[in-house]
Structures are given as structure tokens and as C-alpha cells.
Amino acid sequence: MSETLTRRPLPSLMTLSDRAAVRLRALYAGAHKGELLRVSVGKRGCSGLSYEMNFVTEPEAGDDRVEDHGLVLLVDRKATLFLTGTVMDYEVKDLESGFTFVNPNEKGRCGCGESFHV
């Protein structure tokens, strides 16, 4: 008897919300023309890990390329384990605005929201 294995689809490494795509498209067309956003995870804060974003002109060796909404961003391969399935959003509040991350791998955040742990 032959048993057929079904594979469940793997989650995307990262996706962009509509708001994040609009903002990133504006950044790519303006001050960061010819650059790509690179997302990584660093060690910082009381929970241990933090999201880091930098604009770069070239990918680093081993960077993963993410394409969503017709846009490209780079993800540090060392951050892949922490970021798989993450949605990058863009929020505008009364006193601040910026990219945020909805990460299904997060187990908690520090009180100030600067860092997270998995």
C-alpha cells in the first residue's frame, strides 16, 4: 500500500501590508532611489532581539530576496528563523509613524516595545 504524503505549504518569509507597500514604494521613488530595504534581527533591549532596517545599494552575501506588492526587500539569512511568516506594516500615529512587524514567532516583548523574544 502506497501512502501519499501531502506537504503543507511553507509560509512566506515576509509579506508587506498594503500600507507598508505604499510607504516603501514612496521611499524607493524618493530619498532611497536605487537602494533596497534590508531587514535583520540584532541583539538589543531587555527581551534580547530587535528588528533592524537599513537601506543598502547591494545585498550582502546570503541575503534572501523577498518580493511582494511588486517591491523587493532583503532579509538577512541569519534572521530567517526569527522572521518566517512576518507581516511588515506601516503605522501612522499622532506623534510617530514607522514600520512595524506582526511576527507569529514572537513569544513576548519588553515593556517599552523595543525588543522581543522567540
Q: 8-12, 22-26, 52-56, 102-106: which has the minimum mean pLDDT?
A: 8-12
Confidence of residue 118 (pLDDT cuts 50, 70, 90): low
Q: Structure pTM?
A: 0.81
Segments forming the whole domain that contains residue 98: 14-106
- pLDDT at residue 107 in the model: 63
18 part of a folded domain: yes
The SS3 assignment for 18 reads helix
DSSP 26: H
The pLDDT tens digits of the residues spanning 19-72 come to: 999 999 999 999 999 999 999 988 765 557 888 999 999 999 999 999 999 999
Q: Are 99 and 89 in contact (CB under 8 A)?
A: yes
- pLDDT at residue 35 in the model: 97
Q: In whole angstroms, what is the distance from residue 112 CA to residue 118 CA?
A: 17
Task: Answer with the residue of higher pLDDT: 12 or 89.
Answer: 89
Q: In whole angstroms, what is the distance from residue 47 CA to residue 115 CA?
A: 5
CATH number for the domain harbouring residue 19: 2.60.300.12
4 part of a folded domain: no
Work out how many domains the chain is built from and give that number: 1
Angle CA 64–67–73, to nearest 5:
60
pLDDT for residue 116 is more than 70: no
